[in-house]
């Protein structure tokens, strides 16, 4: 059983929801980034999405865009994020998902990347701009090493395509709750419940809902029909303001409450 499977199973057995937290690797530098990751893991994050910076992050809002810019300015690259994951793995059994864009991964080399990620203790990849139909070349290097390719689906994904994507999905499914880019929002969309119920008809995998969750109350609302929530921009902002641990604890307590 993989670390991702085990994590979601344990949480389900405890009637709890997963907190999937995103932080940009190397933001604002590698020393601070590692400190932030350790804070998040120690205070309740169940799955860590570790961002690999990219110069043209088309799916990200201003908070994560700026985090990526700071990380790139500090010299962060794919190898540096892999090294960070390896250091974290020495002290934590929490699943680690490398989150990024296809260009840096393709440039690094899929075969090399998969081999080094597995050796570092990475569990999965989430590639924002790699459509399922074009992911076969990457997945053929991940599958033999037990690395999951996390599938993204949205409110606009039609049923016929949903079935195709989820048939090959591994680990957990990331449900994008809103149209547009990442970023904290005031309200959770009213149609989330219906979309999540439709999604669960196509898969037995855990479903984590993201894009817009920024506090404990929103996390609790989003998790009512999902197996977990993804929080990104709010954690990145909190890290820059010195309140990351407090926000993770707040969200964790709301989900558990």
Q: Would you name the residues annotated as active-site residues?
A: 49, 60
Strand partners, 247: none
Q: How far apart are CA 89 and CA 140, in angstroms?
A: 24
The half-sphere exposure of 27 on its side-chain side, counting CA atoms within 13 A, is 27
Q: In terms of Cα–Cα distance, which of 63, 102, 42, 8 is closest to 232?
A: 63
Q: Does the CA dihedral 185-64-223-245 come out positive or negative? A: negative
Reduced to 3 states (helix: H, G, I; strand: E, B; else coil), residue 55 is coil
Q: How far apart are CA 154 and CA 184, in angstroms?
A: 17
């Amino acid at each position: 059983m993989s670390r991702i499977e085990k994590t979601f199973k344990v949480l389900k057995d405890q009637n709890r929801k997963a907190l999937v937290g995103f932080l940009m690797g190397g933001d604002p530098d590698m020393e601070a980034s590692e400190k932030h990751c350790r804070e998040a893991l120690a205070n309740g994050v169940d799955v860590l999405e570790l961002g690999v910076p990219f110069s043209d992050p088309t799916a990200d809002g201003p908070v994560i865009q700026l985090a990526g810019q700071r990380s790139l300015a500090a010299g962060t690259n794919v190898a540096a994020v892999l090294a960070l994951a390896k250091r974290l793995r020495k002290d934590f059994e929490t699943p680690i998902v490398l989150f990024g864009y296809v260009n840096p991964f393709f440039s690094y080399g899929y075969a090399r990347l998969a081999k080094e990620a597995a050796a570092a203790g990475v569990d999965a990849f989430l590639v924002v701009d790699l459509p399922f139909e074009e992911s076969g070349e990457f997945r053929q290097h991940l599958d033999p090493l037990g690395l999951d390719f996390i599938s993204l689906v949205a409110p606009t994904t039609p049923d016929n395509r949903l079935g195709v994507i989820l048939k090959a999905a591994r680990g957990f499914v990331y449900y994008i709750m809103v149209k547009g880019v990442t970023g904290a929002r005031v309200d959770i969309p009213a149609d989330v419940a219906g979309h999540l119920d439709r999604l669960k008809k196509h898969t037995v995998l855990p479903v984590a809902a993201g894009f817009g969750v920024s506090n404990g109350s929103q996390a609790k609302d989003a998790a009512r029909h999902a197996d977990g929530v993804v929080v990104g921009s709010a954690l990145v902002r909190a890290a820059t303001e010195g309140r990351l641990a407090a926000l993770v604890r707040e969200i964790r307590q709301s989900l558990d409450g």
